[in-house]
Amino acid sequence: MSGANATAGFAPPRTLVLPPVGLLLAWTVIALVLSWAVVPGLFAWHDPLQGVAGEQLLPPSLEHPLGTDGLGRDMLARVVYGARESLLGALLAVGVGLTLGTALGLLAGARGGIADAAVMRLVDTLLAIPSLLLSLSVIILLGFGSINAAIAVGFVSVAHFARLSRAEVLRVRRTEYVEAAFGSGGRFLAVLWRHVLPNALTSVLALAALQFGSAILALSTLGFLGYGAPPPTPEWGLLIAEGRDFLATAWWLSCAPGVVVLLVVLSAERISRSLGARRT
């Protein structure tokens, strides 16, 4: 996708397309969700883990704005308390992919030669093994849990980050100012740190922002396949996956967390776009 990066420098009149209201809304959504993660008790008045027997599968009401699940647990509480687990999981997944992948890509791009060849073959190997097999085995090895599922999701994206960052490093290295920095006797690591990394990172970070949303979804897919966090953890992806069996009888169970994920992903994307526009 280097074609995209080459043209990323042009700033089309995007800000006119979506009025700033959208951006404002995006920030509001993120702020709200973050505060769910920090102080869930302010937003939900029921226990997310303890249900009330006999109150299962209630439709939305004043008492339970999003209804109750099959065990009589308040869905709003589960969505609100799920914010922490979900956001942490997505951040961790992106973090794992970003750090490992960028490190590998940087090493390959900057060193070149044998290191490059070795790293790229490793990356090829990772890409050649079906990602489904890779992530499921990683989860089985580490044990079931939201953190481990996040690591598995991150692990699968390492190869993509590595390829992208390597390409970016190669691009940046060829620019005149980096050549100049090397030429003026700069130490390899210093130049790498000061000039190459910041410039290569822009598009890598753009990928990271995109990955954030897909990480939440990847976690939910794992939940669908039965490899999600163990019960009774409230985690958005898992809530969507578990609620799908009730689509005909209690559609709100999977739609409510689904809409939350949708809004968060859209907002993250909107914000990352505005940040990107400011950077360039």
Torsion, Cα 256 261 267 273, to 10 degrees, reads -150
Instruction: Give me 278's structure tokens.
Output: 């400011």
Q: Pick from 130, 179, 190, 277: which binds other proteins (CB under 8 A)?
A: 130
Question: What whole-number distance in Å separates Cα of residue 23 and Cα of residue 14?
Answer: 12
Residue 133 binds other proteins (CB under 8 A): yes
| Least spacing, CB of residue 105 vs other proteins, in Å | 10
Handedness of CA 158, 164, 165, 166 (dihedral sign): positive
Residue 10 binds other proteins (CB under 8 A): yes
Q: Pick from 20, 54, 113, 183: which binds other proteins (CB under 8 A)?
A: 54
Residues with Cβ < 8 Å from 120, sequence gap 6 or more? 108, 166
Within 239-278, the residues that bind other proteins by CB under 8 A are 240-241, 244-249, 254, 258, 261-262, 265-266, 269-270
Question: What whole-number distance in Å separates Cα of residue 69 and Cα of residue 102?
Answer: 41
Within 86-125, the residues that bind other proteins by CB under 8 A are 120-122, 124-125
Residue 279 binds other proteins (CB under 8 A): no
Q: Pick from 32, 37, 115, 136: which binds other proteins (CB under 8 A)?
A: 136
Residue 70 binds other proteins (CB under 8 A): yes
For other proteins, the closer of residues 66 and 139 by Cβ is: 139
Residue 24 binds other proteins (CB under 8 A): no
Within 201-220, the residues that bind other proteins by CB under 8 A are 210, 213-214, 217, 220
